[in-house]
Chain A
Amino acid sequence: MFELIHTATFDPAGHARGRARIASDHAWLADHFPGAPLLPGSVQLELCAQIAGPLAERAIAARDGVERWALLGMIRSASFAAPCPLPADVVITAELRRLDAAAATVVTRCLRGDTALCRAELVMVLQPASPEWSAAIAASRARVAAWLAGS
């Protein structure tokens, strides 16, 4: 799932942008839909969360000087404006709406070219980076570094 995004940039002031390439032959698309693969809305939300998380982590680090680990805590709203036939290149944008010590709220969008696909308001819970999460956090950091290097 994390391999779909290939480049991303993050501005700790509150903006981020990523690009994803989604092929039409993923196993999880077999039934969605046979002969006419469409990017599922749930995957669009996942892509949004993948960009919103590192943005939230950078924003809280810049504001409070603390290291946090962002996890999707709540989808406050989500709307889907247009279907997304596959394969597709998708742009994900994220804008910080509110930053608290324990949570960040991020307004995200997916676009295909000039076509808006979805808009979602996500709450990313900001957890202390506890030792049991160290492997996952290291993998996440490496992934984001690769996205940045690709930008």
Chain B
Amino acid sequence: MTTTFDRVAALVRDTLSLGDDQPIRPEQLLFYDLGFTSLDLLDLLYRIEDQLGIVVAEGTIYRLARGELDDAAFADKTVLTPVGRERLMALLDDTPRAVFPERIEAASLPRYCTVGALARLIDQLQAAG
């Protein structure tokens, strides 16, 4: 049975023009391990939209990490608060904690996302309808 991760991994390979034999692992970070650029991420999100029918809107990771917190409690203007940082690390719990800097720009959250986390996020969006 093909899982969401398998499908996302295939789309990551397509985005980076990697061969089918190139292994993609759930713990790989899109930006740090796979060398994604912001345009690659946008391209991948379009492939997800086209192939899986799931729209991952800008700010999705921000909203999921923030949850029911007020904006001001989650981020001080453009930088995550300590509480916000903890919540982001809880959401992206398969990303090594050492990857998260003390100062996290709110616009940079996809940088800390693994392939596995992206697949889980898609499952969440799919379940939410």
> Which residues of A are in contact with B by a Cβ distance under 8 Å?
73-74, 76, 98, 100-103, 105, 123, 125
Residue pair A74, B58 in contact (C-beta under 8 Å): no
Q: A74-B42, A105-B42, A123-B43 are in contact. List 4 more A-B contacts (CB 8 A).
A: A73-B39, A74-B39, A76-B46, A100-B58
Query: How far is A73 from B46 in the complex, measured between Cα atoms in Å?
Result: 15
Interfacial chain A residues near B46, Cβ < 8 Å: 76, 98, 105
- B47 closest partner in A (C-beta): A76
Asked whether A123 and B107 contact (CB < 8 A) given A100-B58, A101-B58, the answer is no
Residue pair B38, A102 in contact (C-beta under 8 Å): yes
B-side interface residues, number (CB < 8 Å)? 7
Interfacial chain A residues near B58, Cβ < 8 Å: 100-101
> Which residues of B are in contact with A by a Cβ distance under 8 Å?
38-39, 42-43, 46, 58, 107
Query: How far is A101 from B107 in the complex, measured between Cα atoms in Å?
Result: 9
Q: Please report whether the interface of chain A is mostly helix, strand, loop or mixed according to DSSP.
A: strand
Interfacial chain B residues near A123, Cβ < 8 Å: 39, 42-43
Q: Please report whether the interface of chain B is mostly helix, strand, loop or mixed according to DSSP.
A: helix
The 10 A-B residue pairs whose C-beta atoms are closest, nearest first, are: A100-B58, A74-B39, A73-B39, A103-B42, A102-B38, A123-B42, A123-B39, A76-B46, A76-B43, A74-B43
Query: How far is A74 from B45 in the complex, measured between Cα atoms in Å?
Result: 14
Query: How far is A100 from B39 in the complex, measured between Cα atoms in Å?
Result: 11
Residue pair A103, B39 in contact (C-beta under 8 Å): yes
Query: How far is A98 from B41 in the complex, measured between Cα atoms in Å?
Result: 14
Interfacial chain B residues near A103, Cβ < 8 Å: 38-39, 42
Query: How far is A74 from B43 in the complex, measured between Cα atoms in Å?
Result: 9
Query: How far is A105 from B47 in the complex, measured between Cα atoms in Å?
Result: 13
A-B contact pairs, 7 of them (CB 8 A): A73-B39, A100-B42, A103-B39, A103-B42, A105-B46, A123-B42, A123-B43
Asked whether A125 and B107 contact (CB < 8 A) given A100-B58, A101-B58, the answer is no
Interfacial chain A residues near B107, Cβ < 8 Å: 101-102
Query: How far is A102 from B38 in the complex, measured between Cα atoms in Å?
Result: 9
Interfacial chain B residues near A100, Cβ < 8 Å: 42, 58
Interfacial chain B residues near A73, Cβ < 8 Å: 39
Interfacial chain A residues near B42, Cβ < 8 Å: 74, 100, 103, 105, 123
Interfacial chain B residues near A76, Cβ < 8 Å: 43, 46
A13 to chain B minimum Cβ distance, whole angstroms, is 18
Q: Which of B42, B43, B58 has the most CB of A within 10 A?
A: B42
Interfacial chain A residues near B43, Cβ < 8 Å: 74, 76, 123
